[in-house]
Chains A and B, each alone.
Chain A
């Protein structure tokens, strides 16, 4: 009679022990599988968060003596102008953008210019000479600038500036209407020189300035005039011009440090002229509970596996002692020790295959609740966002970017359950309080791997005491 047949007979004839073993394994497997699935889903959630939130780093001109290109000019009337001979040019941006992992950039410089337009006055009193000052905002690409991306304004006529134009402008509809301007009209801007720019686009303000806010004339949204880099150069003649700052968005904030390192090593850029700062706080804030959850799950999985191995070893050792009689008989019949251990292993595995399979259903039943319970405990309490993560990304206009991990437990069953993270920009608070946990085939494979390893160890340990004895000693004990 073969090893498997003997194991099968034992499992089917000793029903009480088999059922008890089944429930022990089922409970252990449920915990392990729950841990595995939660760990997996927390990894997926973090990945989604990273993709949804991205990460940023900023390059700004270093306005201090540490910048060898820094210059400070005094007009003799108390006005000090700080500048650089090496600004952030398109070449610098292109060099940075050649680094892998960077998704997009937004570069801008704000320059005071005089204009002959009737502008909208702010509510902060200023000297008369400043009343006609507005910002000429030079961007690489208006469509991707934060002003338009964050929903403050929307282009309603004409085209965006894409970086290839020369002496063009995008102005607000309010400014256009107040000055009877339209597409194709010209606006005169004056700095060191006077430049006439052609209006190629008109935007509408979606988020007006707060009437309670103190805003100077040149800061008012209606007065913002977007121009191209060539216009900026024309306004200042031979002076070197460029962007004041550039913000770069990376695909994966987890890679931010390595990207920064790579950017810093670019030989075509003299980094003494610039300051490079990172911003992945948004991601870190959102991911913190999930990272804690994943870390906790890893500990739980290993803890449960260890405890399971110990408990199983103790149980099997106790049962093994009660089977010393059987072991002696089998040895006396010439059945080798390896085959006898193989039988004991096969018995546990037969029960385990069913128990581990059934744990799919038990884990599915409460893994989601368990995960969300733990997630709640991992989110800092006592704050406004006690039940969620309120993630604010400053874009200069005070809008909040809120991370929401949606609870899609209402999805029809069978629908693929890739966890999702969503970035909302509506300024409302959403929650990171719900994650949906599903058990995937990979989790089951992991469970079977861990389960079989634990069982092999347990059976091996529990068999040691008996298998060290000679058959005669076993038979003597038996007698």
Chain B
């Protein structure tokens, strides 16, 4: 059974101009998916609907066969999916350890160390870290929450090429080694090339590349 499934999803910001129209797709565990598309194509909207940040105007999203609206969006966000954003979205008055501990179901420090932070950096204010380090903290938070699905919205958009490559590797490992379903929305073909499945979002519909 697919971890996530979208059926007949429709979403429009303006009437008669849907950003998503009749989207039907499903996502499996242990794979990294890349959703490619230009800016404004609806990638973030699609992730928001999968992540339970918003609800589709038509259609349904299922997690392991259950409609996420019925099981509760907050519970879905907490227990089923983890979100990684381009702007990291870390709490500015906390350390990396504390940020990761917000939703952690595992020991926090080993995860941070595995992702390349030192113990000293893990206890520093998170705003004093570099962009790459902050994104590692965001990924660590996603991994520590131990959800089956990781959603990443342009996770390498603000990073240099080397760091972006490292982050991509971490996400890929998470899918393959930790059996996570990793869905990355990106316009980077380089990142998409690392994905197991690439989906193109064009005129509101998803197509397998």
- A contact set with B: CB distance below 8 Å: 1, 6, 9-10, 13-14, 325-326, 328-337, 470-472, 475, 478-479
Q: Is the CB of B93 within 8 A of A9?
A: yes
B102 at interface (Cβ–Cβ under 8 A)? yes
With known contacts A334-B103, A472-B54, A329–B90 Cβ distance under 8 A: yes
Task: Give the interface of B toward A (CB within 8 A).
Answer: 48, 51, 53-54, 73-79, 83, 85, 87, 89-94, 98, 101-104, 141, 145
Chain A at the B interface: SS class = helix
A13-B94, A336-B74 known; A1+B54 contact, CB < 8 A: no
Chain A residues, Cβ within 8 Å of B78 = 333-335
User: Are B83 and A332 interface neighbours, CB within 8 A?
Assistant: yes
- Closest-CB distance, A30 to chain B (whole angstroms): 29
Bound CA–CA A335/B145 (angstroms): 12
Chain B residue at minimal CB-CB distance from A13? B93
A232 to B102, CA, bound (A): 96
Chain B residues within 8 Å of A333, by CB: 77-78, 83, 102-103, 141, 145
Given contacts A332-B51, A471-B53, A475-B53, contact A10 B103 (CB under 8 A): no
Q: Which residue of A lies closest to B77 (CB)?
A: A334
Output the least CB separation between B118 and chain A (Å): 21
Set of chain A residues within 8 Å of B83, measured between Cβ atoms:
332-333
- B75 and A334: CB pair below 8 A? yes
**With known contacts A1-B101, A1-B102, A9-B94, A472–B53 Cβ distance under 8 A:** yes
Q: A328-B89, A332-B85, A332-B89 are in contact. List 13 more A-B contacts (CB 8 A).
A: A1-B101, A1-B103, A9-B93, A10-B93, A13-B94, A329-B90, A331-B53, A334-B103, A470-B53, A470-B54, A471-B54, A472-B48, A479-B87
- Determine the chain B residues whose CB is within 8 A of the CB of A475 once the complex forms: 48, 53, 85
- Complex formed: what's the CA distance from A335 to B104 in Å? 12
> A332-B51, A335-B102, A472-B53 known; A326 and B74 CB under 8 Å?
no
Measured in the bound complex, the distance between the Cα atoms of B109 and A223 in whole Å is 105
User: Which of A325, A334, A335 gathers the greatest number of chain B CB atoms within 10 Å?
Assistant: A334
In the complex, the chain A residue whose C-beta lies closest to that of B142 is A333
- Chain A minimum-CB-distance residue to B51: A332
State in angstroms the CA–CA spacing of A157 and B9 once bound together. 112
Q: How far is the CA of A331 from the CA of B102 in the complex (A)?
A: 11
Q: List 27 A-B contacts (CB under 8 A).
A: A1-B102, A1-B104, A6-B102, A9-B93, A9-B98, A14-B93, A325-B89, A329-B90, A332-B77, A332-B83, A333-B78, A333-B83, A333-B102, A333-B145, A334-B75, A334-B79, A335-B74, A335-B78, A335-B102, A335-B103, A471-B53, A471-B73, A471-B77, A472-B48, A475-B53, A478-B87, A479-B87
Q: How far is the CB of A294 from chain B (nearest CB, A)?
A: 46
Query: Top 3 A-B pairs ranked by shortest CB distance?
Result: A334-B78, A334-B77, A13-B93
CA separation between A328 and B102, bound complex, in Å?
Answer: 14
Query: Min CB distance, B125 to chain A, in Å?
Result: 8
Distance in Å: Cβ of A346 to nearest Cβ of chain B: 15
Measured CA separation A479–B102 after assembly (Å) = 21
Complex CA gap A10/B98 in Å reads 12
Verify A1–B98 contact, CB threshold 8 A: yes
B141 neighbours in A (Cβ, 8 Å): 333
Bound state CA distance, A168 and B42, in angstroms?
115
A336 and B73 CA atoms in complex are apart in Å by 10
A337 cross-chain contacts in B, Cβ below 8 A: 74
Establish whether residues A332 and B93, one from each chain, have CB atoms under 8 Å apart when the complex forms: no
